[in-house]
A = this chain, B = another copy of it.
């Protein structure tokens, strides 16, 4: 979320926090109207009502700016206790899908990931500000399921971390792939089917025909 200022100096004129918010909002608006490739920093600066040079003082370039602008979208993800692991998974899947339905998330997220293929610093920035922000939901839901007795406890913290990572990539990856690559809708039915496979496995899900409507 932080622009890239290493340390806020104690002296001199402070940076306008309002400008930061305006710039990030303008970036999202530009993503909606123009998409990734046509988005220009000149345009963002105009929309935000700041000078173009101010933008370059805070962000190294388009990639970093968009990552920060998109990362904020995932702040609205929550995980209310819906009573069961299955219900929790279905809920978060639909929430996540709603975010990915917004054009600023689609083009911004994928554009940033594309650029990260050749930029180690950007890749780490994505991992820190987007991936970690979402992964907390898995940790939370998992702990809750363990309290309910729906999932076993894992003693070794390394094994536990690996499980969390796996579940996260499975769920988030499936939703992203379905919505953005396969271009098919993530609706309630699909969320139910996904959850069944996740909890029971492929064969188990086929026996229980709840996903077939």
Contacts and interface: CB of A to CB of B under 8 A. Distances in A.
A206 B154 contact: yes
7 contacts: A37-B115, A107-B114, A126-B181, A162-B211, A169-B178, A170-B170, A173-B174
The 9 closest A-B pairs by CB, nearest first: A173-B177, A173-B173, A110-B114, A106-B117, A111-B114, A107-B117, A35-B118, A201-B201, A173-B174
Interface string A173-202: 111111011111000001001100111111
Interface residues of A, number: 64
A204 interface: yes
A156 B180 CA distance: 27
Nearest to A63: B37
A127 B182 contact: yes
A96 to B, nearest CB: 12
Contacts of A113: 110, 114, 180-181
A159 interface: yes
A41 to B, nearest CB: 13
B203 A150 contact: yes
A123 interface: yes
A172 interface: yes
Contacts of A115: 35-37, 107
Contacts of A168: 182
A140 interface: no
A167 interface: yes
A63 to B, nearest CB: 8
B156 A184 contact: no
Contact of A207 (B35, B111, B152, B172): B152
A165 interface: yes
A184 to B, nearest CB: 7
